[in-house]
Amino acid sequence: MARNLVKAGHEVTVWNRTRAKTEELKEIRSAASPAEAVAGVNVAITMLADDAAVESVVLGETGIVGALPKNAIHISCSTISVALSKRMNAAHFKQAQRYVAAPVFGRPEAAEAAKLFIAVAGNVNAIAECQPLFSVLGQGTFIIGDEPHLANVVKLTGNFMIATVLESLSEAIAFARKSGVDPAALLDFLTSTLFNAPVYKTYGGLILEGKFEPAGFVVSLGLKDIRLVLQAAEAKSVPLPIASVIRDRFLTAIGRGHQNSDWSVIAQIAAEDAGLSITKSADA
Active site residues: 155
CB atoms within 10 A of CB 74: 27
| Residue 124 is a binding residue for a second copy (CB under 8 A) | no
Task: Give dist(CA 7, CA 250) in Å, integer.
Answer: 38
Helix (H, G, I), strand (E, B) or coil at 74: strand
# residues near a second copy by CB under 8 A = 76
Helix (H) or strand (E) holding 139: strand 138-145
- Which x/- pattern over 260-279 shows residues binding a second copy (rule: CB under 8 A)? ----------x-xxxx----
Find the binding residues for a second copy in span 32-91 (CB under 8 A). 82
The torsion of the CA quartet 46, 2, 111, 280, rounded to 10 degrees, works out to: -100
Stretch that binds a second copy, among 14-22, 42-50, 196-204, 210-218 (CB under 8 A): 196-204
Taking CA atoms, 255 is separated from 92, 96, 258, in Å, by: 40, 46, 7
Q: Is the dihedral of CA 21, 23, 26, 28 positive or negative?
A: positive
Q: 203 or 212: whose CB is closer to a second copy?
A: 203
Find the binding residues for a second copy in span 89-108 (CB under 8 A). 105
Give min distance, CB of 33 to a second copy, in A.
29
- Which x/- pattern over 211-250 shows residues binding a second copy (rule: CB under 8 A)? ------------x---x-x--xxx-xxxxxxxxxx-xxx-
Find the binding residues for a second copy in span 7-36 (CB under 8 A). none
Find the binding residues for a second copy in span 154-183 (CB under 8 A). 154, 157-158, 160-162, 164, 167-169, 171-172, 174-176, 178-182
Q: Are strands 13-14 and 104-105 parallel, antiparallel or unpaired?
A: unpaired
Give min distance, CB of 178 to a second copy, in A.
4
Q: Closest by alpha carbon to 133, among 27, 68, 45?
A: 45
